[in-house]
Every structure is written in structure tokens, then in C-alpha cells.
């Protein structure tokens, strides 16, 4: 197997550390690397979701037993307990936990991330030290990290008095269709073929329904957010980071989405 499949011109453009990494990945161990790469790239599916599902089944079974014994009001309240609280309750130790768990459930279901304060623990932090203060390699890494973080979380402020909502054009193309507000994955069943998905943000949980939609509009996220990346993969227009799209757009309302201009026009 050749040391690297990059063209000569591309090899010249790569920094030496990048070339060394590419060359190492093209050695005899590359079949193993290709086999295991998806564990890193799709960790959400192959590791996190799978293991979380198993843990959830165990916790719900514990909750069912505690509810049957009168220690919880509902089996689902068990997910609100810390591990030591759950273990103690299963052993029959500790005080009453039913009201505490129920109160936590009510609080979680009654609030969203929109209710969280912008800053926690004091005044907002200042900007990080200038990259120029760092050694060249570290400075390059700092600039790249800052760019990626901003591209994931960037959000445009809302513009309530305008018939047009401005966001970040994350995937080119246009679409005119009915808006379908989906605030949680539990509401995905309301999506119809050709709808514009309007949601606070997306996650891998949305991937199965994205082939149905003609465009994506989100409140949060930048050009490297999940919604932006999957929209480009599916080839559908997307405007992300609009700030208040889910508040200004009505369910079923016809809207125009321009993924290149980063705008959503209300009809």
C-alpha cells in the first residue's frame, strides 16, 4: 500500500504534522483503523445511545419496584434520583424520596433550556488570551478551536418587528412550505412530507425524519452545528441560529427559507 494517496500538490500544502498523521493512517494498520473509525465518528449511536438505553431500562425497573412498594409515585420518577439515592432506596435505607423525585420530575418537565440564565456563577467571563501570546503551533490550535466553537454555538439576535427572520445560512437552497414546529423528539410524528422543520435545535435523534423535510430552521446553532451539518449532507436548505424562530413562526404557517441568504420570510 502506498504511503499516502494525496496528490503531490496537496502534500505540499499540508503542514508536516498533518502529513505524518496521514501517512501513519495509510500504513498496514489502516484496515483496522477504518473498521474502528465509526466507533469514534458515530460514538453517539455505537456507544452512548446503546449504553444509555440499557441504563435507562435498569433504572425504570428499579423505579417500578420502588413504586410497587410505595416508595415512588411513578416508576419514571426514578430517573431523577442520583445513584446513591437510588441504591439507598432499593436497599430500604434513607428517608422518604417520593415527593423529592416527583418535584424534580415536575421541574424538569416544566422548564426548557430557554429558562436557563445566560450566565451562571457570576459575571460573564472575558475573552481568552490572544492567540499571538502562544507558541506558533498552540496559536494555530487556539484559532481553530475558537472558530469551531463559534461555528457550533453562534446565534443571531431575534428581530421581532421584521417580517423576515435572520439567521445563519448553513446549507444553500430555497424552499417554500408549511412550517412544522417540533420542540421535542416526541413531536416528530407530526412531520409530513415536504414540511419545513422548525425547532430549537436538532440532535442525532432527528436523523430518521430529516428525509421528510424540505428545509430546516433552528433557534440555536452555527454553521458547524448538528442541524447545519446534516442539512448539507441531505442537500436541503437550512437557516440556523435564528434566535426566536420557534416563537415567531406559527405551526402550519407558510414560510420561505433561503439557505444561502440565511433568511426566513413569513407569509
Smallest Cα–Cα separation from 51: which of 62, 65, 39?
39
| Interatomic CA distance for residues 171 and 236, integer angstroms | 7
For the chain, the DSSP string reads --S----HHHHHHS-HHHHHHHHHHTSTTHHHHHHHHHHHHTHIIIIIIHHHHHHHHHHHHHHHHHHHTTS-S-GGGGGGS-HHHHHHHHTT-SS--HHHHHHHHHHHHT--GGGS-S--SSSPP-PPPPGGGS-HHHHHHHHHHHHHHHHHH--PPP-TTSSEEE-EEEE--EEEEEEEE--SGGGGGG--TTPEEEES---GGGTTTGGG-SEEEESS--TTSHHHHHHHHHT--EEE--SSHHHHSPTT-EEEEETTTTEEEE-
Pull the grid cell for residue 51. Answer: 449504553
C-beta of residue 165 within 8 angstroms of C-beta of residue 196:
no
Dihedral (CA of 111, 115, 119, 121) sign: negative
Is 226 catalytic? The answer is yes
Catalytic residue among 71, 226, 238, 264: 226
Residues forming the active site: 226
Amino acid at each position: 500500500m502506498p504511503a499516502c494517496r494525496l496528490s503531490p500538490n496537496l502534500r505540499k500544502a499540508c503542514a508536516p504534522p498533518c502529513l505524518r498523521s496521514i501517512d501513519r493512517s495509510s500504513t498496514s494498520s489502516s484496515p483496522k483503523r477504518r473498521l474502528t473509525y465509526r466507533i469514534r465518528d458515530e460514538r453517539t449511536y455505537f456507544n452512548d445511545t446503546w449504553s444509555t438505553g440499557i441504563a435507562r431500562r435498569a433504572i425504570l425497573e428499579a423505579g417500578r419496584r420502588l413504586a410497587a412498594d410505595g416508595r415512588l409515585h411513578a416508576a419514571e420518577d426514578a430517573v431523577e434520583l442520583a445513584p446513591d439515592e437510588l441504591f439507598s432506596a432499593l436497599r430500604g435505607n434513607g428517608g422518604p424520596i417520593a415527593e423529592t423525585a416527583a418535584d424534580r420530575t415536575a421541574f424538569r418537565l416544566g422548564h426548557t433550556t430557554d429558562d436557563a440564565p445566560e450566565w451562571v456563577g457570576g459575571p460573564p467571563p472575558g475573552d481568552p488570551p490572544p492567540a499571538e501570546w502562544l507558541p506558533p503551533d498552540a496559536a494555530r490550535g487556539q484559532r481553530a478551536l475558537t472558530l469551531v466553537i463559534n461555528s457550533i454555538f453562534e446565534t443571531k439576535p431575534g428581530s421581532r418587528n421584521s417580517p423576515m427572520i435572520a439567521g445563519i445560512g448553513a446549507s444553500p437552497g430555497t424552499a417554500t412550505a408549511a412550517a412544522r414546529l417540533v420542540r421535542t423528539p416526541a413531536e416528530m410524528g407530526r412531520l409530513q412530507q415536504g414540511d419545513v422543520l422548525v425547532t430549537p435545535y436538532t440532535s442525532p435523534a432527528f436523523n430518521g425524519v430529516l428525509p421528510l423535510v424540505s428545509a430546516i430552521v433552528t433557534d440555536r446553532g452555527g454553521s458547524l452545528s448538528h442541524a447545519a451539518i446534516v442539512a448539507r449532507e441531505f442537500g436541503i436548505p437550512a437557516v440556523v441560529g435564528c434566535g426566536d424562530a420557534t416563537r415567531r413562526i406559527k405551526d402550519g404557517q407558510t414560510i420561505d427559507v433561503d439557505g444561502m441568504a440565511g433568511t426566513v420570510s413569513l407569509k
